[in-house]
Amino acid sequence: MAGMFIDVKVDAKIASDPEAAKKLVEVCPVSIFAQENGGGLRIVAENLDECVLCDLCIEAVAKGGVEVIRLYDR
């Protein structure tokens, strides 16, 4: 589920990779990502609008693995 202002799309391969998921959880300053029991990635919908557009998640994984969408740009 998207936020009101921000949505985040994660490539399915990244989302299912525990190492990539761990990295995303670590880098996000506003806890948009969570990891289920050391496994796959979960998006914390209620934190999406807190995104500070720092791009750390984009840089943490392979190019194109994470996309941060500004819904107000559409």
Partner 1 sequence: MRFYEHESKALFARQGLPLGKSGLARSGDEARRIAAEIGAPVVLKSQVLSGGRMKAGAVKFADTPDAAAKAFDAILPIVVNGQRAESVLVEEKSPIAQEYYVGVTWDGRRKRPVLIFSDMGGIDIEEVAEQHPDHVSKTHVSTLLPFTPRLAKEAVGATGVTGPELNRLTPIAAALVEVFLRYDLTLAEINPLARLDDGRFVVLDGHVDMEAEAREIHRKLLEEIGIRPEETRQARPPTDFEIRGAQVDAADHRGVAGNVVEFDGNLGLVIGAGGGSLTLFDAVRQQGGRPANYCEIGGNPSVQKACELTKLVLSKPGVEKIAVMMNVVSNTRVDIVARGVVKGCVESGRDPAETIAIFRIPGSWEDEGFKILKKYGVEYCDRSVSMYEAAGKAVAKLSAGGTT
Residues that bind partner 1 (CB under 8 A): 4-5, 30, 49-50, 52-53, 70, 72-73
DSSP, res 5 = S
Least spacing, CB of residue 48 vs partner 1, in Å: 10
User: How many of the other CB atoms lie within 10 Å of CB of 72?
Assistant: 8
Least spacing, CB of residue 50 vs partner 1, in Å: 5
3-state helix, strand, coil in the chain (%, to 5): 40, 20, 40
User: Quick one: 19 or 73, whose CB is closer to partner 1?
Assistant: 73
Are 41 and 28 in contact by the 8 Å Cβ rule? The answer is no
User: Quick one: 4 or 37, whose CB is closer to partner 1?
Assistant: 4
User: Quick one: 22 or 69, whose CB is closer to partner 1?
Assistant: 69
